[in-house]
Chains A and B, each alone.
Chain A
Amino acid sequence: MIRVLFLNEWRAVLRDGRGLLVLALGAFLALAATWTSASTQERQEIAQQAATQAARDAWNEREGDSPHSRAHYGDYVFRPSGPLANLDSGLQAVTGRVIYTEAHRQNSDVHKPQQEAASLLRYEALEPASVLQLLAPLVLVLAGFGVVSSERESGRLRLLWIQGVRPLPLLLAKSLALWTLGALLCLVVVGAHLLFSEEVDAGRTLSFLVLHLSMLWVVAALIAGVSARMARPGTSAALLLSLWVLGGIIMPRLAAMTASAADPLPSRDGFQAAMQEDREQGLDGHDPRDERRQELERQVLEEYGVESRAELPVNLGGLIMQADEDYGAQVWDKHFGELEEHLQRQDRLAGFFTLINPIHATDRLSMAIAGTGLSSHLDFLRETENYRRELVRQLNEEDAFGVARNTDGRLARTTTQDFYTGFDAFRYEPLPLAELLGRRSTELASMLIWLFVATGFLAMTARRFDRRGIL
């Protein structure tokens, strides 16, 4: 019976000009968004690789530096797109694309090129993820607000009842018909993604598809349930559109604002001042009167069994610089660790709103799957810092040990250009999908709860009508 009712529902959609129009418009937007997004991401990846190469060329072509001068010259790291950024660009519009890595200090990510159009950034972008998370539910609302209430108003429901149609199969068939409408949009998006993308991560793409199909089932079941419970299609439309506005537009903003107001972040000045204060307790590498430096000098002289710097077979400056870097790394770990925990705390707080909003849960899971969410961003920052530390460590060690005493007793540098050209450029390996999803347990639980609640709501609505016999 469900199959007959399901096919009948599809026939009704295909016969109704408005239904077809909404579906065609949705499919067009899905296709257009996937195509433009794929083209944007492709250009972005090419530009990112070109920028990385330009920085590498500048590094390799530079000559005549001492290792410490090279550490000050530094390197630039350009943020790559996430593995599935052409489906969900996530945080890319609001995070910087470039980090300058240099000796003595850790710099933030800078340059958000969409700042010039900042007035637009308070709105959602038209990309595949937002098409599926915002527009697909809307298509379902517009196609389905009268899926039961119109039948009731026209008296067709009573006819179906007389013919022996039971409420649960009827509601299931109508929900399934609506869901397949959404599933069609999902398939358009994923199909276009497979078509337009050069590299496809099958696991992530499949997860993205399953996630959105699940969310659309929740939406379809809620629409059918609400439509069945409302006496008039107009009331059903008003309620469903209000829920869509709340879930898609208002609640995510409210969640963000609540998290930000409940647990505010420190100001940049405050954060940097605290870090600077701790850093100043250590060696700065340039201050000959620093007590820690004197202590380190004493240790090194003792280690090499000599009386003065002039007798050392190594460059003490390089060792001091590295000791300062080691201390700076501890300071950074402490402060950035606290900041990271703070950011994640805020994020977790906003995550609790997913328990009342399946669209928000989908959005956050989608970013995690795409590798463009907060965890990926923080991991990228951490990896950049690791790269900086390794770069500076190698340079400091060369500064310390890449020397030899010549005949007049002076230290002469033995560093060759090959040493510099032997450095590897920064490469970022995205976090594995399982780890990213593991960090989104609240959202995963929320989606499961919503799947259960929406299906349960449908069953309860059917039972209510079964009991009362007033379909």
Chain B
Amino acid sequence: MIHAALILELRNLARSPLRLLILVLVLATGGFVIAQGQQEVERWQEAIATGQAAQEESLAEARGYFADGAWGPADRTWIDLRQPRWQDSYAATRVAREPAPLAGIAFASAESGAVTVRLSRFADPMLAEGNRIENPALAVAGGLDLVTVLALLLPLLILALGVEIGGFERAAGVLPLVRVQSGRDHGWIWARCQAVGVLAAATGLILTGMAAVALGADLGSTAALAVLVLAYVAVWTALLGAVARVSRTPSQGAVALGAAWILLCVLAPSIGVERSAALAADDFALDLTVEARDAGNEAREMEEDELYGAVLARFPALEEHVPTPRSAGRRAAADGMRIVGMESRMQQRAERGEAHRRLVQLMSMLSPTVAFSHALEGLAGRSPAAAQAFQSAVADAVATRMERSIAATWSGEALTEADFEALVAASPASIEAPASNWWSSVLTMAIWALALFAGGSLLARRLQR
């Protein structure tokens, strides 16, 4: 029966200029946003390359001084590369956030974390900015990328192709004929829905293939994207099936499907956005700004025992470098307190962010569209989790830098070119996007599809009785 239904839907598609137009629009928009995504990834990589060029310039300058047997520029005599602070300054390595293989599919993501951070012992990854200057007036529109096309337009395609299924058969009196010929009128309606699902899945997979080729994605990411697209199509096909089984006229079906689309794609996510605004209402980052600045000053006024105790608790390996008298190392120890403070702030921020993450999870359960777009952003490495993983990695690198700097300052020995090279070598060059947990979204969508299928069947049986 599915074969016959598929042929019928293909014929319907070929005969209806409106449906064909919608299909072409979805494919053309998808192709356009993929090309835009490709450019966005190129800009991302350019930002990394610019950072690396600046890094090489700084390293080359320092190496030039070493080669000349000097410790800094002749016209700035206070610069001395034997001192840890100047080695830290000249070893201006950049930590790059490498774009995930499918980064281009989610270029309109609201996540605007940094893609390169200049490493120094005082760098603050929590206040680092992204490589894009965004026009907020355009960003607020929500953006149009492949995630939007798949999340919002693919269901509309299913709605456009299947809007008359069930309602048309009942209104035109075709169902008794089907029942006589095959004995399974609901089977026919479901087969038509599946045929529409197959067409939508094919469209989604074509876009998946285009994205994979254009963005040079690996097989694993492409397969994950394909699975997510298929799961999402399954949800909307099941929804189409549920509506088609009960709608008496095409207009009833149109209104029901339209209402479902609005509820799942607009209303449910919008409640989440409003709730996240409420969660963020009192967050003016005092911890990252006023308190962080003043904590740095307070560290300089701490009692010596307390100061050394806190620093050595964070960096136990520094125990062997503690200078005598300890007052000689006070300033470096106070610098070390910056790391203690930064890590504590990061921890507090992570706890604060937990409420937002729980909200996103809840909204993902309530709307398969949110589950789908959230999973796609994760797959593209453009999720808050990816930004946070990068921040954490940079924070670790900053802490390592600080530890080396304190050790060198406390030991009081003049540093050499070898120390400089060791410092550069110990700095991470790039951080990969973390693996995304897209399977949970597939599971959510599978539950939605099954629930809709079962709900539709139950409702149809009840109405039949």
Contact between A121 and B284, CB atoms less than 8 A apart: no
Contact between B293 and A97, CB atoms less than 8 A apart: no
B289: interface (CB < 8 Å): yes
Contact between A43 and B281, CB atoms less than 8 A apart: yes
B180 to chain A, nearest CB (A): 27
Using a CB-CB cutoff of 8 Å, which residues 109-139 of chain B contact chain A? 109-113, 116, 127, 129-139
Which residue of chain B lies nearest to A150 when distances are taken between CB atoms in the complex? B251
Contact between A120 and B289, CB atoms less than 8 A apart: no
A271: interface (CB < 8 Å): yes
With A93-B277, A95-B136, A237-B258 already in contact, the answer to whether A119 and B270 are too (CB < 8 A) is no
Contact between A117 and B272, CB atoms less than 8 A apart: yes
A213 to chain B, nearest CB (A): 22
Contact between B360 and A120, CB atoms less than 8 A apart: yes
A254 to chain B, nearest CB (A): 6
Contact between A119 and B283, CB atoms less than 8 A apart: no
A377 to B134, CA, bound (A): 13
Contact between A110 and B284, CB atoms less than 8 A apart: no
Query: Could you give, for residues 267-307 of chain A, a 1 whenever the CB lies within 8 Å of some chain B CB and a 0 otherwise?
Result: 11111010000000000000101000000000000000000
A38 to chain B, nearest CB (A): 11
Contact between A123 and B272, CB atoms less than 8 A apart: yes
A78: interface (CB < 8 Å): yes
Contact between A261 and B36, CB atoms less than 8 A apart: yes
Q: Kindly list chain A residues whose C-beta atoms are within 8 Å of the C-beta of B132.
A: 265, 267-268
Q: Kindly list chain A residues whose C-beta atoms are within 8 Å of the C-beta of B156.
A: 245
A411: interface (CB < 8 Å): no
Contact between B294 and A122, CB atoms less than 8 A apart: no
A261 to B110, CA, bound (A): 17
B85-93, B195-203, B370-378, B408-416: which lies at the A interface? B370-378
A255: interface (CB < 8 Å): yes
Using a CB-CB cutoff of 8 Å, which residues 138-172 of chain B contact chain A? 138-144, 147-148, 152-153, 156, 163
Contact between A47 and B258, CB atoms less than 8 A apart: no
A233 to B281, CA, bound (A): 44
Query: Which of B133, B270, B280, B359 interacts with A267 by CB under 8 Å?
Result: B133
B7-15, B44-52, B62-70: which lies at the A interface? B44-52
Using a CB-CB cutoff of 8 Å, which residues 313-328 of chain A contact chain B? none
B462: interface (CB < 8 Å): no
A124-132, A194-202, A215-223: which lies at the B interface? A124-132
With A113-B280, A121-B273 already in contact, the answer to whether A271 and B133 are too (CB < 8 A) is yes
Most buried by B among A115, A117, A233: A117
A120 to B46, CA, bound (A): 28
Q: Kindly list chain B residues whose C-beta atoms are within 8 Å of the C-beta of A55.
A: 289-290
A206: interface (CB < 8 Å): no
B383: interface (CB < 8 Å): yes
B36 to chain A, nearest CB (A): 6
A114: interface (CB < 8 Å): yes
B3: interface (CB < 8 Å): no
A116: interface (CB < 8 Å): yes
Contact between A343 and B251, CB atoms less than 8 A apart: no
A87 to B92, CA, bound (A): 46
Using a CB-CB cutoff of 8 Å, which residues 228-280 of chain A contact chain B? 232-234, 237-238, 241, 245, 249-250, 252-257, 259-261, 265-271, 273
With A113-B285, A257-B36, A261-B36 already in contact, the answer to whether A94 and B140 are too (CB < 8 A) is yes
Contact between B142 and A252, CB atoms less than 8 A apart: yes
A107 to chain B, nearest CB (A): 9
Contact between B281 and A110, CB atoms less than 8 A apart: no
With A253-B141, A253-B144 already in contact, the answer to whether A36 and B278 are too (CB < 8 A) is yes
B109 to chain A, nearest CB (A): 6
Interface SS of chain B: helix
Contact between A115 and B286, CB atoms less than 8 A apart: no
Contact between A51 and B290, CB atoms less than 8 A apart: yes
Contact between A241 and B254, CB atoms less than 8 A apart: yes
Q: Kindly list chain A residues whose C-beta atoms are within 8 Å of the C-beta of B259.
A: 142
B223-231, B261-269, B444-452: which lies at the A interface? B261-269
Query: Could you give, for residues 25-65 of chain A, a 1 whenever the CB lies within 8 Å of some chain B CB and a 0 otherwise?
Result: 00000000100110111011011101100110010001000
Which residue of chain A lies nearest to B259 when distances are taken between CB atoms in the complex? A142
B76: interface (CB < 8 Å): yes
Which residue of chain A lies nearest to B375 when distances are taken between CB atoms in the complex? A119
Q: Kindly list chain B residues whose C-beta atoms are within 8 Å of the C-beta of A94.
A: 110, 134, 136, 139-140
Interface SS of chain A: helix
Contact between A93 and B144, CB atoms less than 8 A apart: no
B282: interface (CB < 8 Å): yes
Contact between A91 and B137, CB atoms less than 8 A apart: yes
A238 to B16, CA, bound (A): 15
Contact between A33 and B258, CB atoms less than 8 A apart: no
Contact between A120 and B51, CB atoms less than 8 A apart: no
B235 to chain A, nearest CB (A): 17
Query: Which of B110, B136, B143, B279 interacts with A91 by CB under 8 Å?
Result: B136
Q: Kindly list chain A residues whose C-beta atoms are within 8 Å of the C-beta of B282.
A: 43-44, 46-47
Which residue of chain A lies nearest to B255 when distances are taken between CB atoms in the complex? A237
Most buried by A among B147, B249, B293: B293
B105 to chain A, nearest CB (A): 12
Q: Kindly list chain A residues whose C-beta atoms are within 8 Å of the C-beta of B267.
A: 126, 135
B288: interface (CB < 8 Å): yes
Q: Kindly list chain A residues whose C-beta atoms are within 8 Å of the C-beta of B283.
A: 47, 97, 111, 113
Query: Which of A89, A112, A122 interacts with B112 by CB under 8 Å?
Result: A112
Q: Kindly list chain B residues whose C-beta atoms are within 8 Å of the C-beta of A346.
A: 135, 137-138
A238 to B109, CA, bound (A): 30
A341 to B111, CA, bound (A): 25
With A94-B136, A122-B148, A130-B270 given, can you name 18 additional A-B contacts, CB distance below 8 Å? A39-B278, A93-B110, A111-B283, A111-B284, A113-B283, A117-B276, A119-B370, A122-B108, A122-B147, A123-B273, A252-B142, A253-B144, A255-B141, A257-B36, A257-B144, A267-B47, A271-B133, A346-B135
> B residues touching A (Cβ–Cβ < 8 Å)?
33, 36, 43, 46-47, 50-51, 75-76, 108-113, 116, 127, 129-144, 147-148, 152-153, 156, 163, 249-251, 254-255, 258-259, 261-262, 265-267, 269-274, 276-286, 288-290, 293-294, 297, 352-353, 356-357, 359-360, 363, 370, 373-374, 377, 383-384, 387
Q: Which 7 A-B pairs have the closest CB atoms?
A: A234-B251, A121-B110, A116-B356, A123-B269, A113-B280, A47-B282, A256-B141
CB pairs A–B below 8 angstroms (13 shown): A47-B282, A58-B294, A73-B293, A91-B137, A94-B140, A113-B280, A249-B266, A257-B144, A261-B36, A267-B133, A269-B51, A273-B50, A289-B76
